[in-house]
Amino acid sequence: MNQEVVITCAITGSGDTAGVHPDLPITPEQIAASAVDAGKAGAAVVHIHVRDPETGNPARDPRLYADVVERIRASGVDVIINLTAGMGGDLVVDPENSSIPGEGTDFIAPLDRLLHVEALLPEICTLDCGSMNFGDAHAVMINTPSHLRVMAERVRSLGVKPELEIFDTGHLAFALQLAREGLLGDRPMYQFCHGIAWGMPADVGLLKNMVDQLPPDAFWTSFAISRMQMPWVAQSMLLGGHVRVGLEDNLYLERGRFASNAQLVEKAKGLISGLGASGVGPQRARELIGLAPRK
């Protein structure tokens, strides 16, 4: 069991949840405020997506990221910023003509997916480690091996830590290959993502199988979505890992009661404490993850 647990809070995500949760953070001000509140509640890391302030739809405008990051950094609350680099890899096949991209496609060059990372230099950014069917209709998340190598090399050159997003078992195989090729820097950081159709289900046997394939000194975390979010906090730390909660993955504190990010962090922290471990602050989290100390 892991005795020192890093809690990540994923603030808003890119899912179609703005019309479901009445207080989902949407504007840069709301996202930053929610991230600061999560940090105060015990999250050492905040994972940031941005949304169009007018529509609530997912966005990837570097100016929106800059607004969020500047507000967090100006807050005086020390928290590790983790920016998504997953946007811009979406293909929606046109249902009437499968030979062309359909409405909702957002597929750009790999280095263009890192423009906000280059500009803002967060301590961590994500790197999705493979392609997969996303949802139950026409959407595919595309991350080709060649694109991922280009992105990994660029992230490494920027001095940013890539968080390797593992949505399926083959993604782990490719992440381990990137490490063998020297594209990930020292002590890679892995995150196992469970419960997203059609990736890995929330099956603890799958999680253990993948954890057993990691190098002995690997830093890893995992999460599961929806009602499995809190059970997965326990599963992850009991297997020696760290945890992620937040409104990106689950909207509810309990059945029928909407949550805030801070409330989800507080609930996770209580579970961790109840199992005899403790959530760590951002400075200790930097040591565990392998980040440079904050000056």
pLDDT for res 99: 80
Range of 283's domain? 4-289
According to DSSP H, which parts of 121-203 are helical? Answer: 145-158, 169-180
Three-class SS state of 194: strand
Region of residue 292 (left: phi > 0; alpha: psi -120 to 50; beta: else): beta
The tally of domains found in the chain comes to: 1
Domain-embedded: residue 96: yes
Question: The pTM is what?
Answer: 0.96
Domain-embedded: residue 219: yes
Domain-embedded: residue 69: yes
pLDDT for res 90: 92
Domain-embedded: residue 164: yes
Tokens representing residue 244 in the block: 């992620």
Domain-embedded: residue 13: yes
Domain-embedded: residue 294: no
Domain-embedded: residue 295: no
Neighbours of 217 (CB within 10 A): 9
Asked if residue 110 lies in contact with residue 162, where contact means CB atoms within 8 angstroms, the answer is no
Task: Look up the CATH number of the domain holding residue 270.
Answer: 3.20.20.70
pLDDT tens by residue, the chain, 295 residues: 999 999 999 999 998 999 999 999 999 999 999 999 999 999 999 999 999 999 999 999 999 999 999 999 999 999 999 999 999 999 999 888 878 888 888 999 999 999 999 999 999 999 999 999 988 788 999 999 999 999 999 999 999 999 999 999 999 999 999 999 999 988 999 999 999 989 999 999 999 999 999 998 899 999 999 999 999 999 999 999 999 999 999 999 999 999 999 999 999 999 999 999 999 999 999 999 999 888 6
